[in-house]
Structure 1
């Protein structure tokens, strides 16, 4: 074929001309169907995204209303109430920060606040120490599922029932008193004022250990067994396995448990009230924590209720929880470990 043949126009009815005409029509049809590209600053949403945007507020509004009515609203009212003097009836009188000043000048509140810190750090430290020990034992134990169920049992029983049982165990002539006398050890008055708060802390450790052991064991079950086999080949003992393998790989779960313990420890009420209190009477102020102090201020058995002071104590509890949770999250922050 010569150059002249190449440049010569094809007849309109030729096969190649028909193919080019068909391709041109297809390209024009595709161009008409294809949506125009969004201009600068424009975002094109798919129909699914549009439907999601329409359903956003109808689905979110009920949860928002529940949150505002049952949490945000009462919290803001408590904050406002802490700045007033109110006996539960009649008008409020604005007092500013007088409730907070009186609160920290009250020796009962200071002692209650100290007891709360003892529960958070003292009972919490013992709870996690025992939970870590049980985690090391249960990991290599046959029948650990049954053991976990037994350890978790105190969390199923209501706190009031556990408190009554705890009182029977430590009363004069009870099981603990009988065992100490049988072994020749001195048997103190466990329910006396000098030992009552210690017994309460031991009870809180006993009732909480199974719960946190169960959570930690769920994290341990996710650790590949090959890592422990490598430790066995290296001659590592149980404590070294826990320090170098178990604890680093469940560190995030430990941080979550620390936050849960902090929140629950500040709110401890039923166990102390039922264990140390008499029928219709508050326990002795020596075993009060901030939760019992708040209850005593708001629902005093004698005298005029002080709802403003009770609200101020509740705000202090909320601030304590917030500060401790932030500190725990910062202290427990680490890079995630891949395994």
Structure 2
């Protein structure tokens, strides 16, 4: 800074270059190790995202060059495409049913496994296995056979004289069979819940037991409040994953979202628009709309978490 005028002096180009040179010398090794990550970030994430946003503003059929049409794709989605609204409805029903059921079931199993069962590692592996396999094509095909008209479920019910419908072919039940498949994949949430339960001090339970608190009261007033950070984490992860569900609907519905669009997930309709109808610009617009939807739901969860998530330091 100039001692007379008080105006900051400009750093010379040579000084700036020398500073950058010293900075590079000190951190060159770190930058080299980070280089693959930076290449992946720009080449595989930021670059495709920017391209996708540009294509969402165009009419692009992959074959002909894209034609810029502004926000016409977004207007069409909201005002002139009933299947888009149907896919949103189906996806919302799937998310709002599968996520709570999966978390409740995972927490229940985690609480039971936290009782010090013999062979805990074996049970933990068995319960986690569906999560590893559940998203595969083979399991979706198997699920279609199990809930088909002559599948295992209907054969079992027939033993008791119950004639059940074809769960996959009936539009009233097809979506719920996919929800059941999602709930069956509760293993990852269960493992995280189990890890959270292990961190709760046993002194709290012993003190509550001395005061005469029942098991249910200990669960509601000790376990759940101390487990809310883990519940919040699982809720965010499962919510994002459920909005992106694709394989189950694609395989079980034969790639058409049937019967009568009852399993037309948002991602499946996006795939159909982009790779079946070659409306890549419209599909890109749908992808960005999905990003906004997931972002809004995630933001709401974070905004409301201070009302019900309790951390160990007493903060929220």
TM-score when normalising by structure 1: 0.78
Task: Map Cα deviations across residues 39-76 of structure 1 (whole Å, 9 max, x no partner).
Answer: xxxxxxxxxx9975454533434322210110011011
Q: 2:264 — aligned with what?
A: 288
Q: Which of 286, 289, 295 does residue 313 from structure 1 map onto?
A: 286
The answer to whether 1:189 aligns with 2:166 is: yes
Alignment of 1:228-307 (within 5 A): 228-277=205-254, 281-284=255-258, 285-300=261-276, 304-307=277-280
Distance in 2 (CA, whole Å) between partners of 1:154 and 1:168 is 17
Distance in 2 (CA, whole Å) between partners of 1:274 and 1:171 is 13
Change (3 A) 1:50 1:160: closer
Q: Does the 8 A contact of 2:256 with 2:264 survive in 1?
A: no
The answer to whether 1:115 aligns with 2:82 is: no
Shift of 1:313: 0.6
- Other structure's SS at 1:258 match: helix
Q: 1:168 — aligned with what?
A: 145
Change (3 A) 1:239 1:59: same
Backbone CA RMSD of aligned residues: 2.2
Change (3 A) 1:82 1:59: same
Change (3 A) 1:147 1:326: same
Change (3 A) 1:98 1:54: same
The answer to whether 1:99 aligns with 2:77 is: no
Distance in 2 (CA, whole Å) between partners of 1:252 and 1:166 is 33
Q: 1:83 — aligned with what?
A: 57
Distance in 1 (CA, whole Å) between partners of 2:112 and 2:163 is 31
Shift of 1:205: 1.1
139-148 or 64-73, larger mean C-alpha shift: 139-148
Task: Map Cα deviations across residues 243-286 of structure 1 (whole Å, 9 max, x no partner).
Answer: 22222222222111111112211111111111221xxx534233
User: Mind listing any 5+ residue stretches in structure 1 that lack a counterpart?
Assistant: 1-48
Q: Does the 8 A contact of 1:251 with 1:332 survive in 2?
A: no
Change (3 A) 1:321 1:50: same
Distance in 2 (CA, whole Å) between partners of 1:199 and 1:315 is 28
The answer to whether 1:323 aligns with 2:296 is: yes
The answer to whether 1:156 aligns with 2:132 is: yes
Distance in 2 (CA, whole Å) between partners of 1:187 and 1:335 is 45
TM-score when normalising by structure 2: 0.83
Shift of 1:233: 2.2
User: Mind listing any 5+ residue stretches in structure 2 that lack a counterpart?
Assistant: 1-22
Q: 1:63 — aligned with what?
A: 37
Q: Which of 204, 219, 222 does residue 182 from structure 2 map onto?
A: 204
Q: 2:105 — aligned with what?
A: 130
Alignment of 1:43-54 (within 5 A): 52-54=26-28
Change (3 A) 1:262 1:177: same
- Other structure's SS at 2:171 match: coil
- Other structure's SS at 1:321 match: helix
- Other structure's SS at 1:65 match: helix
